[in-house]
């Protein structure tokens, strides 16, 4: 059975943001949350999908290649992320080391390559 909701910390991790940012978004009305019996924030799976762009992209890039991180190489401020896409193809992106750490990218985890013009961005799943 698919997950219906996430705790605030789980939702923040799936969204690639800090728990403080999620709390701020909640206060600002950018994210819809509910509360459990212990008054802890819960975020619905649909809301997480909405914010991740899984259901309605928040930017104009339409070329999304879902796959698995095969390798991450960090050299100073730059990181190379190799993504093996589900379709018969392979995508390699050059991103900042900070982005790799923020997204928690590691070999074997699912991720999505978002292709726009000559740039490739990596979105953690």
Read out DSSP for 59-104? SS--EEEEEEEEEEEEETTEEEEEEEETTTEEEEEEEEHHHHHHHT
CB 53 within 8 A of CB 123: yes
Identify the band that residue 72 occupies on the pLDDT scale cut at 50, 70 and 90. Answer: very high
Q: Left if phi > 0, otherwise alpha if psi is -120 to 50, otherwise beta: which for 29?
A: left
How many Cα neighbours within 13 Å face the side chain of 1? 2
Tell me where in the chain the CATH 2.40.50.100 domain(s) lie: 63-124
The CATH code that applies to domain 63-124 is 2.40.50.100
Q: Does the structure show a pLDDT above 80 at 84?
A: yes
The pLDDT value given to residue 5: 92
What's the token pair of residue 88? 């018969």
Q: Does the structure show a pLDDT above 70 at 59?
A: no
Identify the band that residue 55 occupies on the pLDDT scale cut at 50, 70 and 90. Answer: low
Measure the CA–CA gap between 11 and 42, rounded to whole angstroms.
Answer: 8
Identify the band that residue 22 occupies on the pLDDT scale cut at 50, 70 and 90. Answer: very high
The CATH code that applies to domain 5-52 is 1.10.1660.10
The pLDDT value given to residue 39: 94
Tell me where in the chain the CATH 1.10.1660.10 domain(s) lie: 5-52
The pLDDT value given to residue 6: 94
Above pLDDT 90, what percent of the chain?
39
């Amino acid at each position: 059975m698919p997950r219906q909701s996430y705790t605030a910390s789980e939702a923040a991790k799936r969204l690639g943001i800090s728990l403080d940012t999620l709390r701020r978004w909640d206060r600002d009305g950018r994210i819809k949350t509910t509360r459990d019996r212990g008054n802890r924030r819960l975020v619905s799976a649909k809301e997480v999908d909405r914010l991740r762009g899984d259901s309605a992209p928040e930017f104009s890039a339409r070329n999304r290649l879902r796959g698995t991180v095969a390798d991450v190489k960090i050299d100073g401020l730059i990181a190379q992320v190799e993504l093996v896409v589900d379709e018969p193809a392979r995508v390699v992106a050059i991103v900042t080391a900070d982005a790799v750490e923020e997204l928690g990218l590691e070999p074997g985890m699912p991720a999505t390559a978002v292709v726009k013009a000559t740039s490739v961005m990596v979105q953690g799943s």
